[in-house]
Amino acid sequence: MKFSEYKYERPNYNIIKKSFLELVEKIKDSTTYEEQRKYIMELNKIRKHIETMSSIASIRNSINTADEFYEKETEYWDEHSPLYEELNSDFYKSLIDSKFKDEIKKDFSEQFYKICEYSLKAFSPEIIGELQEENKLMSKYTKLLASAKINFKGEELNLSGLYKYMLSDDREDREEASKAYYKYFEDNEEKFDDIYEQLVKIRHNIAKKLGFDNFVELGYIRMDRTDYNPDMVANLRKQISEFIVPLCNKLYEHQANRLNLDKLTYIDENIEFLDGNANIKGDSKYIIKNGIKMYNELSKETKEFFDFMLENELMDLETKHNKSAGGYCTYIPNYKSPFIFSNFNGTSEDMDVLTHEAGHAFQLYMSRYIEMQEINFPTLDSCEIHSMSMEFITYPWMELFFKEDTDKYKFAHLCSAIKFLPYGVVVDEFQHIIYENPNMSKGERKKVWRDLEKKYLPHRDYSGCEILEKGCWWFKQGHIFKDPFYYIDYVLAQICAFQFLKKMNENREQGWNDYLRICKVGGTKSFLEIVKTGNLISPFEDKCIESIITNLEENVSKFEENL
């Protein structure tokens, strides 16, 4: 069935609540595990239906934020998802209190049971009002980004559409486009500030009501981080500062030399070559055509997966007016369907979508057998391993897309991945500081951001752009607004993906088997357990980053020699 044919119907909360709570009572009253399991699965059908309707509404709203019907449905879900979360907490409690705990863990995994425990810690009926308000503010942020209409070179563009001009090989065009892009944030500075101010206060209040000192501990619990803590993350940030920042400084220095610049500024940072970055040699149809060939040849599993995505029209890829910014992959439980959303913009980033988001979708496809939707996806730190590693696993097929620019693409892609790590820890440390100090003023928050940039990204030069010099780059980083503490996950996963790059170079068959294995376990294991399943070194080990530096430098040099 094609996605356009998926039926959406707003659930009737009162009817669902009645059936839901009746089944919860039956789970509690069960005298045998066989009986209890039967009621668990009956209840799971209702839970999957709720999740399916929520996902469909969210996808269709993000495809067209101006669609009045799905705008109303988004308002419904903003209001009701905390109420459904309350019902879920009753379900989780019935499992935690069950006398058949061992059987539940055996059937659905230890990790699922831990997620139930964490979900109970992160919820109370007392916070429903705050959760509803948090949802509304996040939707408000999404709409603020999506509503951008910027007149540029005779076109009316949204932020995604403007971005391709920011990658022009003509420096004047880049500068003009960059100024137009950031002027939108300057014009709306107060709106972005106010939304975040309210989100910080609401999240702090939620944490206090749940018995935490501040939102940091609750943020980790919300992310289901069952086997690492802020101290371990702080140690990782220290390693990145020690080993990755100096490497990045060299990469930026070489980049400035290639561009014949004394110093990179913010308008040059995403340009690696004087004659422009590598571009895909065709339009979206060309990308999909070659994507079919790539995934057909990669493995029988990826062929089956990509055919499924195309046949069922489970990808919405091209940018258009009123379409939500960014890209994502999500899951629709009743149809056992991943869905890929993106904004193709005519740059090499379109390839990152075809590999990164497809990595997520492939993992979901391989773990569709898992009955509980909490563990179809692994925790976000783990699921980003699948996406980021797929970017490297598909390197042998990049010539299909980039032709003579293939080594250009690989070089820029790898450099970008390395350079990402310091930025990733800026986002992470920023959030730790903000939520540990929730009463900071708006100006103080911006100073924190700018100070962290100077620490981890010392090359950054915002000459001529007051809004960025002020410390407002993070306005465009949606995770900070909508997914607090979801960013170190990318850093952890990138370090694991670098290990897959090394594996695929040394023994492709073994590397692919390790990758396939972590896809098949879905979310039945924690982050460190998935790292072990993939025969990877934990990023928290003191020598982990030091151990990958040499390999990264060798790969950068190899691609650079062929330019």
Let me know if residue 243 belongs to a domain: no
Structure tokens at 209: 């009501």
CA distances from 450 to 196, 259, 447, 460, 511 (A): 17, 26, 5, 10, 40
- Rounded Cα distance between 491 and 384, Å, is 9
Contact between 335 and 52 under an 8 Å Cβ cutoff? The reply is: yes
Let me know if residue 69 belongs to a domain: yes
- Buried b / exposed e across 78-98, counting CB within 10 Å, b at 16+? bebbbbbbbbbbbbbbbbeeb
H helix intervals, 347-379: 349-352, 358-366
Among left, alpha and beta (phi > 0; psi -120 to 50; other), residue 337 is: beta
Let me know if residue 214 belongs to a domain: no
Domain housing 37: 3-129
CA 171 to chain centre: 31
- Rounded Cα distance between 103 and 268, Å, is 57
Let me know if residue 20 belongs to a domain: yes
Query: 482 Cβ partners below 8 Å, 6+ apart?
Result: 138, 141, 142
- Rounded Cα distance between 419 and 413, Å, is 10
Structure tokens at 529: 């357990």
Let me know if residue 16 belongs to a domain: yes
Give the up-direction half-sphere exposure of residue 68: CA atoms within 13 A in the CB hemisphere. 0
Let me know if residue 120 belongs to a domain: yes
Give the up-direction half-sphere exposure of residue 75: CA atoms within 13 A in the CB hemisphere. 6
CA distances from 506 to 81, 205, 414, 493, 511 (A): 47, 51, 17, 20, 8
Q: How many domains does the chain have?
A: 1
Let me know if residue 32 belongs to a domain: yes
Query: 434 Cβ partners below 8 Å, 6+ apart?
Result: 200, 440, 445, 448
Residue whose C-alpha is closest to residue 144's, from 182, 186, 192: 192
Contact between 52 and 98 under an 8 Å Cβ cutoff? The reply is: no
Query: 328 Cβ partners below 8 Å, 6+ apart?
Result: 62, 340, 341, 342, 357
Q: Look at the chain and count its residues.
A: 563
- Rounded Cα distance between 453 and 190, Å, is 22
- Rounded Cα distance between 80 and 85, Å, is 9
Let me know if residue 94 belongs to a domain: yes
pLDDT tens string for the chain (563 positions)?
999 999 999 999 999 999 999 999 999 999 999 999 999 999 999 999 999 999 999 999 999 999 999 999 999 999 999 999 999 999 999 999 999 999 999 999 999 999 999 999 999 999 999 999 999 999 999 999 999 999 999 999 999 889 889 989 899 999 999 999 999 999 999 999 999 999 999 999 999 999 999 999 999 999 999 999 999 999 999 999 999 999 999 999 999 999 999 989 999 998 999 888 899 999 989 999 999 999 999 999 999 999 999 999 999 999 888 998 888 999 999 999 999 999 988 888 899 888 999 999 999 999 999 999 999 999 989 999 999 999 999 999 999 999 999 999 999 999 999 999 999 999 999 999 999 999 999 999 999 999 999 999 999 999 999 999 999 999 999 999 999 999 999 999 999 999 999 999 999 999 999 999 999 999 999 999 999 999 999 999 988 998 889 889 999 998 888 88
What is the sign of the dihedral through the CA atoms of 445, 448, 454 and 456?
A: negative
